[in-house]
Amino acid sequence: MATLHALANPARFLRLARPLTPILWWTGGVLIAIGCWAGLTQTPADYLQGETVRILYIHVPAAWLGMGGWSGIAISSIVYLVWRHPLAAVAARAIALPGACFAALCLVTGAIWGRPTWGTWWQWDGRLTSMLLLFFVYLGFIALSNADRERGGDGRVPALYGIAGTVLLPIIRYSVIWWNTLHQGPSIGLTSSTIDRSLLWPLPITTIGFTLLFGGIVLMRMRAMLAAAKAEARMRRRARA
């Protein structure tokens, strides 16, 4: 807890975030390049889906980060409501846009994958529909946060929205189990996988790479938001002088 309070200080946070941002960017980018190269050239085609299976190296990390991003918003919202750390609200706002982008990437790559596999670009399937709802919930959070800031709100309403939105996460996760769904069932577990290892091994590389890139984007956005807030405060002081 003491560490959280220390990092809640914007100056201390920036001292850590400045060098960490490019490290996350470059490391993530290198891992993504290696993973995609391996997935495209070093793995065999699937015996049923053929070459289209290779999109999993982007689709799966996008799905993970679309859901993980909202988990980050929820955690930041709880921290803000309980301890009133302004940096937690900044973190939630910083996560929202890249989280929405990865949710959209998940939907787009899923449609591209689904067309030759299922014979359709879109189906009102439980997994697809709940992921689409999460994308719209992201957009709602972004709009609500912007409106709250413009009206001088205290950030509680977006934080409550961020917590309430977590109801979609278990629905997305278990939709393929709860309903008779077009989307395939769980393929990757903590201890086993239905995907052959010859296809699976580049996936952790791209997943880690995209996760590091996501973290770098969030830190970059948080730094930009803190700089904008500092500049705005300076302009207000000058206007009063």
The tens digit of pLDDT for each residue in 59-105 reads 999 999 999 999 999 999 999 999 888 899 999 999 999 999 999 99
**pLDDT exceeds 70 at position 187:** no
Return the pLDDT at 238: 73
* Three-point CA angle 186, 189, 190, nearest 5°: 165
Q: Residues 126, 183: contact at Cβ < 8 Å? A: yes
Q: What is the pTM of this model?
A: 0.90
pLDDT averaged over the chain? 88
pLDDT tens string 28-56: 999 999 999 999 999 998 777 878 889 99
Return the pLDDT at 197: 83
Domains and CATH numbers, the chain: 21-184+200-229 (1.20.120)
Return the pLDDT at 6: 55
Q: b vs e for 134-162, b when ≥16 Cβ sit within 10 Å of the residue's Cβ?
A: bbebbeebbebbeebeeeeeebeebbebb
| Rounded Cα gap, residues 181 and 167, in angstroms | 20
**Among candidate residues 185, 196, 93, 189, the one with its CA nearest the CA of residue 147:** 93
